[in-house]
């Protein structure tokens, strides 16, 4: 069994662990490290199936997106208070764990689909991207805070990007997708900075 084959076998499980951790972790640093893990995993998968340049483009995107988030973190972006109920959605760790299990089950079922239009995507990539899509969706549904919501969006986009790059391996599209990833990361940091300013103002008043 060569390295790429092994990667294909462990990638879906790794995707579940990493994207589940994105939902369960609370510290910003841990979340950014997990996100970089997701980018690393999908870049490795892309490198195993795509042209070298397209795979490397994903590595670079991951580095840049995580770099932007780390810079914002170092620049003073604050952790949100964990476990607090917001907007009527419970956010305790136990609730999130149960939600992860349910969503993981749904992802497993969806990844097994034999629909003809998925046939072009290798099974390991199909399953990995499906897990990322459903866990990203869970993050979007669960979290209202800009940073956590944005991470859900990025997780979902990483999953879609991985599957779509198998269907459309053009470098131009990889570059445009990379711009979307970077745009979301920048927008996230900007929106969060503005939101923090508003919350700071409200606290002062």
Partner 1 sequence: MSAPAFLFLATLAVAALSAWNWSKPPRAAALAAAGSLALAAWALFSPIDAPFSVIGLAVKLPARWSLLGRGFVLDEGARPMIAFLYLATAFLTAPSFLAGTTRAAPALAVMLTGIVAASLMVTPFVYAALFIELAALGSGMMLVSRGYPSSAGALRLLSLYTFAMMGMLATGWLLDRVGVTASTPELANVATMLLILSFAILMAVPPFHLWISAAAQRANPHSMAFVIFILQSAGLFFALRFLDGFPWLRMATLAYQALLWTGAAAAIAGALMAMAAEDMRQVGAFALVSDAGVILLAVGTGEPAGYRLALGMLAARVVALGLLGLGLGSLGISQPWGSMQGSGKTMPLQAAAFLAGLLSLAGFPLSAGFPGRWSLMSGLHGAMPWTSWTILTAMTLLTGTVISWARRLFAVPAERASPTRLTRLEQLFLGGGIFLLLLLGIFPQLVYPWVVEMANGLSNLVP
List residues binding partner 1 (CB under 8 A): 116-117, 120, 140, 146, 149-150, 153, 156-157, 160, 164, 167-168, 170-173, 175-177, 179-180, 183-184, 186-187, 190-192, 194-195, 197-198, 201
Q: Which is nearer to partner 1, 17 or 149 (CB)?
A: 149
Distances (CA, A) of 205 to 25, 166, 199: 32, 52, 10
CB of 1 to partner 1, least distance (A): 31
Q: Which is nearer to partner 1, 97 or 175 (CB)?
A: 175
Alpha helices in the chain (DSSP H): 3-24, 28-49, 52-74, 93-111, 123-142, 146-167, 171-204
Q: Which is nearer to partner 1, 97 or 190 (CB)?
A: 190
CB of 79 to partner 1, least distance (A): 17
CA dihedral sign of residues 121, 55, 32, 189: negative
Q: Which is nearer to partner 1, 16 or 154 (CB)?
A: 154
CB of 34 to partner 1, least distance (A): 20
Which two structure tokens, joined as six digits, stand for 15? 């995707």
Q: Which is nearer to partner 1, 112 or 170 (CB)?
A: 170
CB of 202 to partner 1, least distance (A): 10
Q: Is the distance from CB of 169 to CB of 54 less than 8 angstroms?
A: yes
Residue among 59, 23, 49 at smallest CA distance from 164 = 49
Q: Which is nearer to partner 1, 75 or 94 (CB)?
A: 75
CB of 21 to partner 1, least distance (A): 21
* Burial class of residue 194, CB neighbours in 10 A (0-12, 13-18, 19+): exposed
Q: Would you tell me the crossing angle of helices 123-142 and 28-49 to the nearest 10 degrees?
A: 160
CB of 9 to partner 1, least distance (A): 27
Bridge partner residues of 86 (DSSP): 89
Bridge partner residues of 89 (DSSP): 86
């Amino acid at each position: 069994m060569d390295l790429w084959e092994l990667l294909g076998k462990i990638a879906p499980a790794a995707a579940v662990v990493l994207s589940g951790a994105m939902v369960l972790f609370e510290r910003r640093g841990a979340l950014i490290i997990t996100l970089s893990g997701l980018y690393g995993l999908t870049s490795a998968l892309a490198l195993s199936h795509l042209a070298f340049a397209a795979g490397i483009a994903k590595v670079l995107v991951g580095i840049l997106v995580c770099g932007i988030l780390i810079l914002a973190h170092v620049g003073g972006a604050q952790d949100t208070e964990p476990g607090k109920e917001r907007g009527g959605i419970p956010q305790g760790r136990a609730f999130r764990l149960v939600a992860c299990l349910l969503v993981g089950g749904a992802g497993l079922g969806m990844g097994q689909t034999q629909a003809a239009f998925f046939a072009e995507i290798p099974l390991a990539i199909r399953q990995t991207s499906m897990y990322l899509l459903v866990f990203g969706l869970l993050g979007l549904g669960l979290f209202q805070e800009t940073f956590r919501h944005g991470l859900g969006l990025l997780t979902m986009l990483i999953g879609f990007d991985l599957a779509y790059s198998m269907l459309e391996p053009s470098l131009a599209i990889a570059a445009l997708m990379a711009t979307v990833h970077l745009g979301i990361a920048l927008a996230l940091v900007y929106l969060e900075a503005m939101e923090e300013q508003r919350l700071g103002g409200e606290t002062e008043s």
